[in-house]
Structure 1
Amino acid sequence: MKTIVILTGSEKRHTFFRKYLKNTKGIKLLKSFSESQKGNIQSLVKKDSINNDLRTKHLLLRDQVESDFFEVFNDVVQNSNNVFIEKGEINNKKYVSEIIDLNPDLIISYGCSIIKSNLISSFKGRFINIHLGISPYYRGAGTNYFPFVNNELQFVGVTYMFIDKGIDTGNIIHQFRAKMNTCDSIHTIGNRLIKDMAIVCSELILKFDSINNVKQKITPSEIKRLYRKKDFTEESLRMLYNNITKENIISKYLENKYLIDDKYPIINLKLNK
């Protein structure tokens, strides 16, 4: 039995994640901390009321597809020893002390604020951060969004890494690329990936003791991108939808997937063995 604490957000995808792990055999969730949605991408777009039509529609559609994927599960499955906190409060001494006292085997973070407390040092080698994106190629915000803007779908995926004080810079434990179909949208790809991410995360937790000294790969230095929330613009969305609908980048990527992927190595453990 592995004991864990989860640090996450409070949107539907985060609720699915913590409830899925709570109900996984062999995992005991001691407590989860869900930060509020204050300062999320929707609120930032809303402030830019003069020029936000395309982004607003995109985010509304994202929320709808997220509901289609996760809402039934979230409504049926029991809670996850969860406490709701304000954005950034995960670094407060009160919660840091509580987590240290709980002394879980592992801390799992997904979609929470940047950790600035001594949780990093207190749980060195036991604190896993889940990064939606393939690191170190894409770091920061929107790391499964901007590969569609840049026509680099080989970088849509998930990275599990040990947390450190940088932005998505810790040693990588495991990665995998997103499953795609020619009829997909960016939202169906993204939510399917989150579903798969939770499943793989449970496997990593259960097999954690057998995962030692994962060799880090050398990645091509010409592709290392760092994005911020402010980079999510109307123009970037126009490029994204042009790439998907007119340039057919999903079909073109799938036609040459193995050749493209091979050029950009990732760390992928054989968890099913």
Structure 2
Amino acid sequence: MKMVVITGDHPRHRYLATKLAECGLLSGWIIEKRKPFMPEAPAGLTPELTRLFNLHFQRREEAEERFFGQPTTPSDVPNLSVTPDTLNDQATLEFIKQADPRLVLSYGCHKLSDALIQASGCTFWNTHGGFSPQYRGVTTHFWPSYMLEPQMTGVTMHETTSHIDGGAIIHQNAALEMHADDGLHDLAARTVRAYADEIPALLAKTLEGDLPLGQPQKTSGKIWIGADWRPEHLHLIYNTYEDRICKAVADGELAGRIPTPFSLLKD
């Protein structure tokens, strides 16, 4: 056991952690309590926007269940429950030191403090649900489809730094093959599941030797912030394309950029 994983508590986060546990890689799991997966529509929306908002997040929840189920915490892996407010507390540091990992991998948690990282004496990598540097920040599995290039939906593992999703890249995957029946959330979940299924074996081999230094990101790309997203964006996804943007790409009606995934992990 050579790793500690720090994740959120949504099914996709738990799925990655359980896959790592199945490979015998985990000496500890820190689980951050996140907001409910199904949010309430903001007050003041028009009836149509309320409908689209509820449809969007209902489909997200359904895709999450379909692709990840409800993974449980393995009984043989020590775990620590935290909140966003306690994530960087002394208890987290003590848990990591007790687990004595070579690598700490985060996914779906809030920002880890520089003080925690430095005091731990470990290597920290982060899993970002977006193809960096083009899609850094938040909601980065929504924006590729909205920008009509769903093939840029991806996952990036990078060195953890103070820059938002800006650390040197260790590994990436991307949605290079379009499934015509996939909606936006199916595409996102399928991409995350592919990453979670492949990464344990790659990390197991990588951890047998020296951990690689990542490849610096060559451009700043685009950092998407929470305020960029508004319910009005859902018109294009559901009214214009009826959540069939993947089909439009598969049928040759849309093109856009082609991602070039990069990896330093041993296969």
> What's the TM-score bracket when you normalise by the shorter of the two chains?
0.7 to 0.9
Q: How does 1:116-155 map to 2 (within 5 A)?
A: 116-122=113-119, 126-155=123-152
In 1, the alpha carbon distance for the partners of 2:196 and 2:86 equals 24
TM-score, normalization: structure 2?
0.83
Q: 2:196 aligns with which of 195, 198, 201?
A: 198
Counterpart residue type for residue 3 of structure 2 = I
> 2:97 matched to 1:103?
no
In 1, the alpha carbon distance for the partners of 2:122 and 2:260 equals 23
> 2:45 matched to 1:48?
no
Q: Quick check: 2:5–2:28 contact (8 Å CA) kept in 1?
A: yes
> 2:248 matched to 1:249?
no
Change over 3 Å in CA distance of 1:198–1:144 after alignment to 2? same
Counterpart residue type for residue 195 of structure 2 = M
Specify every segment of 5 or more residues in structure 2 that has no aligned partner in the other structure, as ranges: none
After superposition, give the CA deviation of every residue in 1:4-46 in whole Å (9 maximum; x if it has no partner).
Answer: 1111111111222211211114x2x1221111123x6744xx2
Identical residues among aligned pairs (%): 25
Q: 1:66 aligns with which of 64, 67, 80?
A: 64
Q: Quick check: 2:14–2:72 contact (8 Å CA) kept in 1?
A: no
In 2, the alpha carbon distance for the partners of 1:253 and 1:211 equals 37
Matched residue, 1:218: 218
Counterpart residue type for residue 123 of structure 2 = R
- The structural deviation recorded for 1:102 is 2.5
Q: Quick check: 2:33–2:84 contact (8 Å CA) kept in 1?
A: yes
Change over 3 Å in CA distance of 1:265–1:16 after alignment to 2? closer
Counterpart residue type for residue 186 of structure 2 = T
Residues matched between the structures, number: 259
Change over 3 Å in CA distance of 1:42–1:229 after alignment to 2? farther
Answer 1 or 2: which has greater helix percent.
1
- The structural deviation recorded for 1:167 is 0.7
- The structural deviation recorded for 1:129 is 0.2
- The structural deviation recorded for 1:255 is 5.5
TM-score, normalization: structure 1?
0.82
Q: Quick check: 2:5–2:105 contact (8 Å CA) kept in 1?
A: yes
Matched residue, 2:156: 159
Structure 1 vs Structure 2 CA RMSD: 2.9
